Structure 1
Amino acid sequence: MSNIEDNYKKTLDGLKDKINAQLEAYFNFKLNECDDTRIKDIIIKLRDFTLNGGKRLRPILMIMGYNMFSGQDERIIKASISIELAQSFLLIHDDIMDQSDMRRGKPSFHKAVEGSLDGNDATRIAENLAISAGDLIDTFSHEALLRSGFELENLLDADFEFSRIIEDTGKGQILDIYSSIENLYSEERLTKLHFLKTARYTVQGPLLMGAYLSGNKKYIQEIKDFGKYAGIAFQLYDDMLGIFGVEEKTGKPVKGDVNEGKKTLLIIKAYENSGKEDREFIESCLKCGDVSDSDFNRLRELIKSTGSYDYTKQKIDEYNNIARSALEKIDGDKEVIKMLDFLLEYLIKREN
């Protein structure tokens, strides 16, 4: 790692520490104003779930969206946790829908709640509590933003963008659920899904919220373009990690995406480039719900032999180049722009 990369990493680690400290302070504030032991227990579990790992990518990008046009101050740290709280809300509900037992190497939220319950109905009650907890932390996310101390006009712009981010993510989730039961799925439809479900709230939305809080609206379209294509590249790479990553590093079951029947670009292109027998095999893997090790290894080999793996890598590079071109058009703080460029590379080379 070069000295420049090392300095960027230290800066990002420093921001992550500040974000974690602000998250902890916010949860303490919510616990102190709560007088019910049952609700407090859920808030504690929300705190533990939120603080359990995570790259803090979204709040960091929100801070960078602000710092492109304004100097650093504590208000943006306070505001940035809003998108991380929303991340917990989305992950909690997502894990219930996917019936995922693990998140970041530990039990998913509903499974952690289930572990604290007794009785034959523990699973259903835990899921009900988790859904309610997700709704609760969603309201926390907007409160954290509105309490950050920014000027009212800028806050309204940022919170309106925040609401649209969650709306688009919900639309993406609907498409994702349908994708698991639709026999035919195109690359075009998958790209739309990745934009709505991932790019909007992972990259584009946080950057826009930060820019709105700075009061600078000159480069909104450039930020949108950067965020869209960087976010899609991020998700395509995430899908590659989902099949070819190391479970100990990703914190997710390596066969999870296949068992959930997800039609990633890797799967779509492998299917398109396969003969009848291999197509039927791919379909059986996606439908079985518990693919064997041998079938999973065969599927991975198919993805490579059909050219799907290389095609996906090519699309990631293509989207990254479009994102970088948009970034170069933004006249903002030079160091922040350089750090965003560094982050763009990190997103497609990470191991988790």
Structure 2
Amino acid sequence: FSTIFEYLHVATLLHDDLVDGAQLRRGKPAAHTLWSPETAVLTGDYLLAKALSIAACAEDTRIIAAIGNITENMAQGEIHQIQRKRDITLSESEYDEVIRRKTAVLFEGACRISALLAKASEQRIQALADYGYHLGMAFQMIDDLIDYTQDAAKTGKAPGADIREGKMTLPLIHGLRHASETEIQWITDLVEGGEISEADFQSLHALLEKWGSFDYTRRRAFSHVEKAKASLGCFEPSELRTLLETVADYCLKREG
């Protein structure tokens, strides 16, 4: 059943790269540039269908329902993000909802289904689902931070890809709350224009650093990591629990 989540994840990457016009994925040419947009879309569709097909073999209907819920939410998250592209009025709560649907539901679902397969108690099923949710939220926040703070050698893509694609992520949303009217207008012109020079990106980076937007994003991610680890409280101390806690902590340290 672990292949279900690999198929779901890869399917979303195939679709995302095409929608975003991304040329690279992990430092290598995106699928739609190697083959064709049609091939990338249909391959993603096939992987989604295959994931659902595998899930249908489960005896527990809760597993099938969970996979359906994940697929539905991830699509809705992407649609919402597309609809609000280049919209500087996107609020932090709306951002949270986008990344919940785009990312956290996948982590949550993987943990929930693992617990279902292990025939865990309802308490432990919910505990692991909560762990996955908070881990997914932290993961995406750090991912959005990395887009501003790491170089292509570590991430496999040029810094600033998100803002160039018109994606409003947490560092920028936070920064706009501290910007002057003149700065807001400058950022609006950058976001709406799409063509952002390296000099402009570095100027924006300096402003976000000054406003504490990067630290704020780290703090919010840290809060979710702490909640993820706290969710494991119903489990006795063990090597496996320590491993899950280590995975959560690593989320804050990743660089690409």
**TM-score where L is the length of structure 2:** 0.94
Residue 37 of structure 2 aligns with which residue? Answer: 127
Residue-by-residue CA offset, 1:254-313 (whole Å, 9 max, x unaligned): 121110111111001111101011111211221222210100000000101112122111
1:146 positional shift: 5.1
Q: Which of 96, 104, 107 does residue 18 from structure 2 map onto? A: 96
1:307 aligns with 2:181: no
Distance in 1, matches of 2:34 and 2:56, equals 30
Residue-by-residue CA offset, 1:79-126 (whole Å, 9 max, x unaligned): 21111011111111111110111111111111110xxxxxxxxxxxx2
1:199 aligns with 2:104: yes
Indicate conservation of the 8 Å contact 1:158/1:210, yes or no: no
- Greater CA deviation, 333-342 or 96-105? 333-342
Point out the structure with max Rg over C-alpha.
1
Change (3 A) 1:140 1:303: same
Residue 80 of structure 1 aligns with which residue? Answer: 2
1:334 positional shift: 2.1
Residue 76 of structure 2 aligns with which residue? Answer: 171
Indicate conservation of the 8 Å contact 1:242/1:255, yes or no: yes
2:117 counterpart letter in structure 1: L
Q: Which of 242, 246, 252 does residue 342 from structure 1 map onto? A: 246
1:140 positional shift: 2.1
1:144 positional shift: 4.1
Indicate conservation of the 8 Å contact 2:86/2:168, yes or no: no
Q: Give percent identity, aligned residues only.
A: 28
1:86 counterpart letter in structure 2: L
1:224 aligns with 2:129: yes
Distance in 2, matches of 1:139 and 1:171, equals 17
- Per the alignment, in what secondary structure is the counterpart of residue 348 of structure 1? helix
Distance in 2, matches of 1:107 and 1:138, equals 22
Residue-by-residue CA offset, 1:221-240 (whole Å, 9 max, x unaligned): 22232222221111111001
Distance in 1, matches of 2:56 and 2:243, equals 27
Residue 143 of structure 1 aligns with which residue? Answer: 53
1:145 positional shift: 4.5
Flag structure 1 segments of 5+ consecutive residues without an equivalent.
1-78, 114-125
2:13 counterpart letter in structure 1: L
1:181 positional shift: 4.3
Change (3 A) 1:351 1:181: closer
Q: How many residues are treated as equivalent by the alignment? A: 255
Residue-by-residue CA offset, 1:62-82 (whole Å, 9 max, x unaligned): xxxxxxxxxxxxxxxxx2111
Change (3 A) 1:143 1:269: same
Distance in 2, matches of 1:330 and 1:186, equals 36
Flag structure 2 segments of 5+ consecutive residues without an equivalent.
none
Distance in 1, matches of 2:125 and 2:95, equals 25
Residue 118 of structure 1 aligns with which residue? Answer: none
2:41 counterpart letter in structure 1: I
1:264 aligns with 2:169: yes
Residue 325 of structure 1 aligns with which residue? Answer: 230
Distance in 2, matches of 1:284 and 1:329, equals 50
Distance in 2, matches of 1:133 and 1:309, equals 36
**TM-score where L is the length of structure 1:** 0.69
1:184 aligns with 2:89: yes
Change (3 A) 1:229 1:215: same
Structural mapping, 1:63-74, within 5 Å: none
Change (3 A) 1:194 1:288: same
Indicate conservation of the 8 Å contact 2:55/2:67, yes or no: no
Indicate conservation of the 8 Å contact 2:88/2:173, yes or no: no
Residue 106 of structure 1 aligns with which residue? Answer: 28
Structural mapping, 1:48-67, within 5 Å: none
Indicate conservation of the 8 Å contact 1:105/1:252, yes or no: yes
Residue 298 of structure 1 aligns with which residue? Answer: 203
- Per the alignment, in what secondary structure is the counterpart of residue 59 of structure 2? helix
